[in-house]
Structure 1
Amino acid sequence: MAPIDDAIAAIELLEPGEPFLYRAMARKYNTNYTTLAWRHRGCQKSQRAQEASQQKLNPQQEAELVQYINNLTKRALPPTRAMIRNSASHIALEPVSDLWVTRFLTRQGNHLVSKWTSGMDSLRHKADSGAKYKLYFDLLHAKIKQYNVQPKHIYNMGKKGFMIGILGGSKRVFSCQLWEEKQVTATLQDGSREWITLLATICADGTTLPLGLIYAAASGAI
C-alpha cells in the first residue's frame, strides 16, 4: 500500500477516542499530514477512487463492452468511436464523452486497437479464403504445365472501383488479437454502389496493356 494508506490503516486500528496527532502519524509513515487529515476525514478521495468515479462503467461492464467489440470484429463489423460512445452511454445510463472513449481505449490497450480501414463487400469477405486461393492456383499451374502455355500468352487483369467524391477510409476499433492475426482488417459494406471501374492488365512477360475505365451505362444501354 501507499504510505498514506498505511497511515490511515494505523489510525483506524486505534481504540475509539484514543488520542493521536495527524502530524505525528504523517511523520511516522512519511506522508503529508494535511492530505492525511483530509483523507481520513473523508474530504478527499484517493487517486484510484477518483479514477474509478470517472470511468462511468465498472470493470465488469467494461469487460462486457470489450467482448461486444470483439464479437463485432469477428463479424468483420468493427465499431467506430461514435458507436462505442453510444454503447457505453446506453450501459452507463448517461452520456459519455469522446474523451471517455479515448481513456477507455487506453485502459483496454491490451485487448483493443484503433486502425484506419476501408470497406469490403460482404460477398468478397465470404470468398476471401486462403484454402480456396490455394486450390485455384494449384489448378492454374497444373493447366499451364499441361498445355505448355508460354508467359507471353498469360495476362492478369485487375480492377479497382471507386466513387467520385466519396472517401472510403475510416478509423475503426478492432480486437487486438484478430487484427494481429490478420483475421479481420476491413469493414463490411453492402456493395450496392455505382462505381467507375479502372482496369489494369499486365502480361507474365512484363508488358502491359493501356489502362481502361468503365463507366455506369444509362438504363437499357449496353
Structure 2
Amino acid sequence: MRMSELSRRSGVPTATIKYYLREGLLPPGRAVATTQAEYDETHLRRLGLVRALIGVRGLSVSATKEVLGGIAAHEGEQHQVLGIVLGARPADEDAEPAPAPAPGAAEVDALLAELGWEVSDHAPARAVLGEALETLRSLGEEIAHPALLGYADAAAQLAAIDLDQLDPQADPLAQAESALVRTVLLEPALLALRRLAQENESVKRNS
C-alpha cells in the first residue's frame, strides 16, 4: 500500500507517518520509485503500536524507540513483549541496575512469595504497592493480611480476564497494542465498577 492508504487505514496523518519514519519508529517501506515506497500490514500493525505507546501510554519518541527495540530483542516471546509494552519490565532489563529498596519492599516481597507470583524485580508496581501499604499504615489504616490476600485474588482474576481477551492468533504487535490500550483505558472503568459495587454492597448490608 502507498503512504496515503497507510494513513487512511491507520488514522494517522501522513505528516506524522513521515516523522515516525525519520525518527526510526517505523521501518522504511519498499522503494518503488525515487520518491515513492510501498508499505505492508507489518507497517500498519507497527504504526498502531507506536500510536498507542505515544498517545495512550504517553511515552516520548525516544522512550518509544527504546520500547520498540526491546520488543525486537524479544520477538516471539509474548510474556516479555507484553511486559515491556505495559511498563512492567524495562526494555533492556539486563542493562538496568538493581532497583533500590523502596518503602514496604520487604512486605511486598513476602506477599509475592506467599502468593507464588513470578514478578520481575524491576516491575514498577512493586514500589507502588509498597508505598501505598506504608502510607496506609502511617495513617492508621493498615490492611489486614486476609483482606490483602483477597485483593490479590481479585487482581489475579482480573489478570486472567485481561489475557483471555487477547487473540492468540493475532500478530504479536497487534496483541501488544490491544493489551496496552485495554490496560490503560480500562483502568478508570474498573475503578468506576468498584465504586458502584461498593455502593451496592453498602445498600445490601443496610437494608
Which TM bucket (shorter chain)?
A: under 0.3
TM-score, reference length from structure 2: 0.24
- Flag the structure with higher strand content: 1
TM-score, reference length from structure 1: 0.23
Q: Larger Cα Rg: Structure 1 or Structure 2?
A: 1
